[in-house]
Chain A
Amino acid sequence: MIFRIFRKELLDTLRDRRTLMTMLVIPILVFPITLNVFVEISKSYEESASKETMKIGIVGDKNQYYTAQLQQIPESVGPKKIRVFQDSAALRKALDQDQIQLGLLVPTQAAIQRKNQTPVNLSWLLDASEVGRSERSELYSSYFKAKAEFQRLHELGLSPDQIKPLSIQTINCASEKKMVGQIAGGFLPYIFIAFGFIGCMYPAIDLFTGEKERGTIETLLTVPVSRWKILMGKMLVVVCSGMVAATCALLGLFVSIEFLDLADNKELLEVIHSILTPYFILSMFALLLPLVIFFAGLMIPIAIYAKSFKEAQSIITPLNILVVLPAMVGFFPGIALDFQTVFIPVVNVVLATKALIAGTLSWAYFLAVFALMCTLALLAISLSYRQFGKESNILN
């Protein structure tokens, strides 16, 4: 009978456009679209910035030493026009009016400093809030530095190795998998949790509050089927919806990385492929399932209590923040699964998934998180059952 109720509720849910949007369409499309748009926009900004002709103003370069160097820099770095200013005030004014994009201040004693082999302090003036200006100034600076260093070493009769008496290397012993887990591991559980929650939300409201609003609850509760079976049939749909939404979001992310050329680093792609093993996917779902049941168990009592769709939505939406905030813990470095964090719901799943990606999750911690989440899921089901049994809640 539970399955019959589940079948009917699923059919009803799948015909609801709002639920379909949150369960399938948005999770599948959100990452391909947003990542693609983001990458395309940043690419086009970078391209336009590199093609932009930079008007560079120079002050204090008496013998045009740096002006000549600037002119020697190849056009491939980016087109440029050079304009000489008499004083820094005029240069700053031109910069403010965007007549020039970069200003170079050369100290008046630059020639003497070079002769005396003391450092010359050049200064760039620029509006750092504008895209590409800092990058272009850094490129020019690196040319100046390389040229000056080469010249100084030549004057001193030294080779570059002679001024490097010590070379220190840092060798990263962590596997690439672990590095990916550390850097990107916080992102994956965040997606899973956020979409798992959103996926549960509309079906929970529709199947419980909606049933009250439509006036169908009275007839449903007069059929010879126990209330826990009715609750289970409905809850299964809510949980399925959450799982489908989370899976679709991950699928969308995978498609974005794999087919939309968003991660053109082959080594990174290989690492991602090595992470996505059946063992990993099964373990992740094992962690996610009790979490989604827990979410459903939190939302259903609210949906049962609420008298209207609006009321249910207004209570459940802030709950979303309570869930999403702890899910962000994965983004912070240094927080790992330990004896304390293993007991914090949501946080424990995030950290366990992160460790799972890195391949550092121990069986003891995995089982501890799984057991705790299953216990919470059972408590949430029991809470839902208690609320579903209350006369004051089921009849408006």
Chain B
Amino acid sequence: MIKATQLRKEFPLSRQQRKELNTTDTIATAVADISFDCQPGQIFSLLGPNGAGKTTTLRMLATLIKPTSGQIEINGIDAIQHPQEARKHIGFLTGSTGLYARLTPIEIIDYYADLYQVQSKQREERKKYLFDLLNMHDFLHKRIGKLSTGMKQKVSICRTMIHDPSVVIFDEPTSGLDVITAENIIKLIRDCKDQGKTVIFSSHIMSEVDLLCDELAIVHRGQLKFLDSMITFRERMKANNLTEEFIRIVQAPITTP
């Protein structure tokens, strides 16, 4: 499970950035004290427009960057104090994830299996399972640079799942992908849920969220605008459809306690 408490991330602004943003502030708050829990066997979705703070939040959860303040627990491990221990439980995939073009899929998978210290027996089982599931056998020994986008995405998924993580973080995983490749990702997210994994994914596409998620958090300008189940979201809906409701919530004035 994932437990985020009062998570905050501030970035210093350079003179150039201050000029571009037309502000005198020396600090930009990307995420402002947000808290949420993601339970195993559930899909938690972070929804928000571009620049809302979704990627920053997920990067903090994946231990890529440290929060300015707040706490993160991954399966009960303090991810800020013990990031390496927490990483063993995490699989992280983004839509912009790249691969080493000069290596083959099998070389990449073996490399990451080594980095995650996956034992040889478990590794062979996982490789067989994932290669069968994703139908990767035909291009395992071809260089990544010669693969199609869909094939590359399959390799990325395989790399993310090789150590059988119990927490899976997807940052806009379908962004820029064609329909068939995006469908593979959606299937993977569902599979993860069925296997009892904790799944968190970010998106700015309401239809995708509607299709998958159990719990929903809407973020805008680093702040939580909505946090509840998808069922509750639908029940409380004031607009005609989900997308309009999302826009309505995002555009609502920020209420200060």
Contact = CB atoms under 8 A, between A and B. Distances in A.
Interface in B40-64: 59, 62-64
B117 interface: yes
A215 B92 contact: no
Contacts of B84: 224-226
A214 B100 CA distance: 8
B101 interface: yes
A229 to B, nearest CB: 10
A221 interface: yes
Given A219-B92, A219-B97, A224 B102 contact: no
B103 A391 contact: no
B114 A222 contact: no
B159 interface: yes
25 contacts: A4-B114, A12-B103, A15-B103, A214-B98, A214-B101, A215-B94, A216-B97, A216-B99, A216-B100, A218-B62, A218-B64, A218-B97, A219-B112, A219-B159, A221-B64, A222-B63, A222-B87, A222-B90, A223-B112, A223-B115, A224-B115, A225-B115, A226-B84, A391-B64, A395-B59
Nearest to B98: A215
Given A8-B111, A216-B97, A219-B112, 9 more contacts: A1-B115, A4-B115, A11-B107, A15-B102, A16-B102, A224-B84, A224-B87, A224-B116, A391-B66
B193 interface: no
The size class of the interface chain B forms with chain A is 20 to 34
A391 B62 CA distance: 13
B66 A216 contact: no
Contacts of B88: 224
B85 interface: yes
Interface of A: 1, 4-5, 8, 11-12, 15-16, 214-216, 218-219, 221-226, 391-392, 395
Contacts of A392: 11
Contacts of A214: 98-101
B96 interface: yes
B65 interface: yes
Interface in B149-207: 159-160
A263 to B, nearest CB: 40
Contacts of A224: 84-85, 87-88, 115-117
A219 B90 CA distance: 11
Contacts, number: 69
Q: Which 4 A-B pairs have the closest CB atoms?
A: A215-B98, A214-B98, A15-B102, A224-B87
Given A214-B101, A218-B94, A4 B87 contact: no
A135 B160 CA distance: 75
A12 B115 CA distance: 16
Contacts of A391: 64-66
Given A16-B102, A224-B87, A215 B97 contact: yes
B24 to A, nearest CB: 21
Given A224-B87, A395-B65, A12 B98 contact: no
Contacts of B115: 1, 4-5, 223-225
Nearest to B84: A224
Given A4-B111, A224-B85, A226-B84, A215 B96 contact: yes
B29 to A, nearest CB: 15
A209 B111 CA distance: 20
A246 to B, nearest CB: 24
Interface in B103-125: 103, 107, 111-112, 114-117
B62 A222 contact: yes
A56 B245 CA distance: 102
A309 B153 CA distance: 24
Contacts of A15: 102-103
Contacts of B101: 214
A219 B109 CA distance: 12
Interface string B72-99: 0000000000001101101011101111
Contact of A222 (B64, B85, B111): B64
